[in-house]
Each structure stands twice: as structure tokens, then as C-alpha cells.
Amino acid sequence: VIKCKAAVAWEAGKPLSIEEVEVAPPKAHEVRIKIVATAVCHTDAYTLSGADPEGCFPVILGHEGAGIVESVGEGVTKVKKGDTVIPLYIPQCGECKFCKNPKTNLCQKIRITQGKGVMPDGTSRFTCKGKPIYHFMGTSTFSEYTVVADISVAKIDAAAPLDKVCLLGCGISTGYGAAVNTAKVEPGSTCAVFGLGGVGLAVIMGCKIAGASRIIGIDIKKEKYAKAKEFGATECISPLDSKKPIQEVLVEMTDGGVDYSFECIGNVGVMRAALEACHKGWGVSVIVGVAAAGQEISTRPFQLVTGRTWKGTAFGGWKSVDNVPKLVTEYMSKKIKVDEFVTHTLPFDKINEAFELMHSGK
């Protein structure tokens, strides 16, 4: 058993608490990882807020991490002690019908136990003050050591800087893949990206790499526009600057609508606007943001009858074990940006400050 520091969420709506936890050794087909760096994501905040129907407490959150394999359980063959890895919240077992289907990346092998906050055998590897602590998204990267299923880990280039590539565990991969895998953005196309946080910037990067000629960033926070343009946005607009609905503004700006739109916020009203900003006959709108539990989307069916397509994406459609190492290689060869997404680097015990920076849009 390893004793280490972790940020424990004891209950919904309260700040995380840095505690000493015990991390049990990995069982069969499990891997124990020394986490070197972790990022914070809105999904962590969503669960912490109490709005997540799958949220269990007490829990160790975190799903954008990178580290070194400390030990492996019986039967683990894909990684060994000392390997550099990224934990994966969407695993890839290679055996279930989802993994065998090229149309999806949603491996279901451990979905049920992962959603309940436990390892595949139904138990936790974390304890604190004598109480078992739940796992989160199969990763729990807000701990100096974590245990994951062996299908939930990608071995990456040992030379990669872990304080940067941890972001490929969720946000950057999700946005980039939404553009290149889910939408399949084409050269010369016009795109609109709603929400210019980390995921939105990654979508812009993907649209640019795919050869889009016009990329319109949409956000009410104008201080985000300069960064969006660095990533490839050709122009930025605010919904607050017009009395007309934003979709009407976009349709006028683009002679009938955009070819591709992306909702990167998790707001069902914005999801509708993103669809309705698409061009009649061929426009495709991709939902990337996660809305709160119980919310529903709506539009007039005529929008779809007249040739628009509404899609969603999870982890950018990447089959995780196969593609995360390739994304790291693309970063190392400077094909994709990663360093530019990092705004602040804080010591682990200031993790609550990181959440405050995220909520303030900084």
C-alpha cells in the first residue's frame, strides 16, 4: 500500500481537501500509476457541483493526467513498470462490439463499474481516514498515485513533457477530434465554434489543420478573442452585440449558414443556435459540450428535413489506446499545439485555485 497526497471531494459543492490517502496495489489487469501532472476540466467541476447524476462521494476527481507506471497487476501485458502513460477515461478493450466497430470509440467493457466509481471488480483502491473513497471516470488523477484498469491506459513517448501532454487525456483530444473525426471538416469550408475555452480552441485548431478557410469564434468574453485568433479563428463575434439571435447573424454573415458548427459549452440553447446557424442542405453541427442532467435539446424538425445533420462526440471520436500515443507524436513533431493551451501551472495543493481560474474563464 502506498500513502500519498490526494485532493478528496468529501461532498458536493465543497472545495477539494488535500488529504493523505492509502492506494492499494493493483489487482489482476490493473495498473498503478505515479501521476506527475494533472489538468482541471469543467467535467470535474460539473461532478463536484452535485449536478452529475453519476456523481458519488467521497471521491478523487481528475481525468486529464500523465505519469509513470509504478507497478502492474497479474496479467498486464501492454505496459510495464517505468513506462510513461496517460490514463484514459474512455478505455479501449479491443474485444467488445463497440471496439470492433470502426464507427465508434465508446468501449463499454467497464462502463457500468466506472460509472459507479469503482474498479471492474466492484471495489475501490483508495482509502482515507479509514473510509473507502470512490474512483472517478476510471482515472482519478487528482492523486499522487492512482490505479486504473489495464484497458484504460495508453503508453506514450517517454520524452514527452508530462505537464503538457496530460491535456491530451481529455480537452485537446476532444476538440481536435470533433473537427477531424466527427465533423470531418473539409478544405475550404466555413466553421463556427461556440465557446472559446480549451475545448473550443482545440476545435479551432482542428478546423485549421483540416483546411477550413473561415473559422468564426463565438463567445461573450471578448478577452478570449486574441487567443482564438492565435489558434486559427479568422474572426470572433459576441452574441451580445446584436439584437438578432446569433444564428441569424451567422446565416447573414456566411451567405446562408456555416458548413460546420461546434457547441463547446454544454448549453442546450446554444446547441440549438449552433444547429440553426448551419447551411441548408449540408450543414453539420456537432455537440461537444456536456449539458446538465435532465436537460433536453429542441429545434423545429424542418431544420433537419432541409438537410442539416446534428451529431455528438465523446473524446473526439478517438479510439483511445490506439490514438493517444499518436496524438503525443503529432505534438512532439509540432503538428498540433499543446503548450499554448497551458495558462497557469500551480502546485498540487493549490488545486482549488485552479478551479477558480477555470470558472473565471482565465
Q: Where are the domains of the chain?
A: 2-169+319-360, 175-313
pLDDT of amino acid 304: 98
Q: Which homologous superfamily does the CATH classification assign to the domain defined by 2-169+319-360?
A: Medium-chain alcohol dehydrogenases, catalytic domain (3.90.180.10)
Closest by alpha carbon to 39, among 263, 198, 175, 266?
198
Helix (H) or strand (E) holding 354: helix 351-359
How far apart CA 90 and CA 341 sit, in angstroms, is 22
Helix 246-253 / helix 268-276 crossing angle, nearest 10 deg: 20
Give the single-character DSSP code of 14.
Answer: S
pLDDT of amino acid 190: 98
Q: Give the percent of the chain with pLDDT over 90.
A: 96
Strand partners, 341: none
Given a cut of 90, whether residue 53 has pLDDT beyond it is no
Kindly report the average pLDDT of the chain as a whole number.
97
How far apart CA 186 and CA 175 sit, in angstroms, is 16
Closest by alpha carbon to 116, among 27, 54, 46, 24?
54
pLDDT of amino acid 236: 98
pLDDT of amino acid 278: 98
Given a cut of 90, whether residue 54 has pLDDT beyond it is no
Given a cut of 90, whether residue 21 has pLDDT beyond it is yes
**175-313 and 2-169+319-360 share a CATH fold:** no
pLDDT in tens, 295-342: 999 999 999 999 999 999 999 999 999 999 999 999 999 999 999 999
pLDDT in tens, 283-302: 999 999 999 888 999 999 99
pLDDT in tens, 86-104: 999 999 999 999 999 999 9
Given a cut of 90, whether residue 16 has pLDDT beyond it is yes
Calculate mean pLDDT across residues 16-32. Answer: 98
Q: Is 327 exposed, middle or buried (0-12, 13-18, 19+ CB in 10 A)?
A: buried
Decide: 21 and 128 in contact? Cβ < 8 Å: yes
How far apart CA 224 and CA 227 sit, in angstroms, is 6
Q: Which fold has domain 175-313?
A: Rossmann fold (3.40.50)
Q: What angle do CA 57, 63, 68 make, to 5 degrees?
A: 120
